[in-house]
Amino acid sequence: QWYQRRVHKQWYQRRVQVCERSERQDSQKDSNMENKEEIQEAGKEELAEEMSQMDIKVKVNRFDSVASVDETDAIKIGKHQLFASHQHHPVKHVEFDEEIVKPGPEADLTAEETIMKNMVTIDNGDVYKSAFPKRGLCLVIENDMFSTNLGLSKRKGSSIDRMLMIKTFTRLEFEVRVYQNLSSKDIERALEKASLEDHSKHEMFAVVILSHGNEGILYGYDSAYPAHKIWEPFTADKCPSLIGKPKMFFLQACQGSKMDHGVPVKASHGRTSTDSFASYRTPLHADFLLAHSTVAGYYSWRNTVQGSWFIQVLGSALLTNYADQDVLTILSKVQRCGY
C-alpha cells in the first residue's frame, strides 16, 4: 500500500508538471501571436503608406514616362490598363484650385505650336486648283421604277429632278452622264468604270443619286446595294487621278422611316411622296463631300409634280450662286431655305 501511494504521488506530480508546462507553452504561444499581430498591423500601415506614395507617383508620372504614340484610347501601357482601376476602386473626388489660363503672346509658342498655327491658317491660296482644262464628270443615277418583287412604288416627280440636275451641271461645264433604272450590279459597274478613267485633266468629280432606299442601303431596279458602294470606288487608293480634287455626292432619298413633320405650311399643288434612303457613316476620306436630303433616321420628301424639295433647292442655288460662291456656302444656304 505504501508503495502504491508513492507511485500514485509520483504520477500525480508528473501530471501536474506536464499541465504547468503545457500552460506555459500556451501562454507563450498567445504572447507570440499577439506580437505577430502587432507586427502585421504595423507592416500593413507601413505598406499602405508606401502604396499611397507610389499611387501618387504613378498618377503624376504615368503619362510623362510613356513615349508619345498615336493609338486608340484605353490601351495597355506596360502591365497597367488605363481606366481599369475604376472597375475595382471607388472614385475619389479631388478638388483643385481654380486656375485661369490666359493666352500668351505668339512669341511664347513652341516650335510644334508654330508649325500647327501655320498649317491651319487660312489664306487666299487655300482653294482647290482650277487650272485644269476640264471641269470633270457628273454621273446622274436615277431609279424611278423598280421590279415588282421589291414592292416599291414608282418615284413620281423624279424626272423633274433628273432634268434639273442635267441642266445645272451642264451649266457648270461638267460632262454629264445619265443612267436610268439600272440594276444594282450595273450601277456598281458604271461607278467602277468611271473610277478607272483618267481624271488627271479634270478639276473635280460629282455624283447625283435619285432613288429609294432603307437603313444602310440604296435600291437599284432589281435589288438593294450598300450605300458606301457609291463613293467607295473613288478613294485615293482606287482612283489616284482624283487625289487632292473635290469628289461631291448629292443624295436624294430618305435615311430612315421617321417622319419630320416640321411646321405647318400651306398646301401646294400636287401630292407629296417619300423616298427611302440609307443610314451610314460618313467616310473619313480626304476631299469627299456628301450632301444628304435629310438627317439620319428620317424620310426625305418628294413632290410628285414638282420634284424633290432638296434637289429643286440645290439646283436653283447652284445656278444662282456658282459664279461667286463656294459649294459649302451654297449648301449652307440650301439648308437654311428649309426645303
Question: Catalytic pick from 202, 239, 254, 292?
Answer: 254
Point out the catalytic residue in the list 199, 212, 239, 292.
212
CA angle 33/36/41 to nearest 5° reads 125
Cα separation, 238 vs 59, whole angstroms? 46
Known catalytic membership, residue 254: yes
Other CB atoms within 10 Å distance of the CB of residue 297: 13
Tell me if residue 207 falls in helix, strand or coil: strand
309-321 vs 158-171: helix crossing angle, rounded to 10:
20
What is the secondary structure of 37-55 as a DSSP string?
HHHHHHHHHHHHHHHHHHH
CA atoms of 145 and 219, how far apart (whole Å): 10
Q: What is the spatial distance between Cα 185 and Cα 191, in angstroms, rounded to a whole number?
A: 10
Which residues have CB under 8 Å from 171's CB, separation 6+?
319, 322
> What residues are labeled active site?
212, 254
